[in-house]
Copies of this chain bind each other. A is one copy, B any other.
């Protein structure tokens, strides 16, 4: 496929917010994704502990920041943008195992090396924690551990759903399932009820690698869905869901 991107950050700015008194402020306390992330279990009085160990980083589109097989030195929390997680075979075949949206925690692994790679789909901001700092936090905040277990359990459920999709669903069923899933995260503002405009930040190639298909099959399937009046394919990364009901019939298992 494409050339393997390097595993370096574009920049690694320690984003320190200076308050009126000139003292470092807890940027975690103003973090917009904290309510949806594991950080929400840290009490307001302890948030400074978070800010001390977290480092903000900005990852430009297409840049990888976790390399499969590399030493697992850091954990990440996505604060904005979309990240693709993937595994690859020696000959280049790639399977995207998931897309991480803001609030998602990355790096769950007992091994000392990453079991997957991670790459920014669009411009991504992440909070980075070193492995040892994270361990300290876990020791000091038992709630954090329970929250991580929740997070892991949720990912496990998602992984099981994806295995069902990859192992047993047809191309049409896969794409339908994908579009419905994306309505959880990709819905444009003001959209809700029986339809909705979606912003899909990933390319057809990414979708294909996520669904275990080829680019061409994804494209053809979307065209077929458009012909069926299920969706409208806008330019860029926009897709409009015209009939959720029809997609749900497909996704449930009528290829």
Contact = CB atoms under 8 A, between A and B. Distances in A.
A154 B110 contact: yes
B87 A166 contact: no
Interface string A133-152: 00000100010011011101
Contact of A152 (B91, B149, B164, B166): B149
A245 interface: no
Contacts of A212: 166-168
Given A90-B252, A93-B253, A146-B145, A109 B163 contact: no
A116 interface: yes
A97 interface: yes
B115 A160 contact: yes
A211 B115 CA distance: 21
A171 to B, nearest CB: 12
A157 interface: yes
A89 interface: yes
Given A111-B157, A157-B109, A160-B116, A93 B168 contact: yes
The 5 closest A-B CB pairs, nearest first, are A167-B212, A166-B166, A159-B159, A152-B152, A89-B253
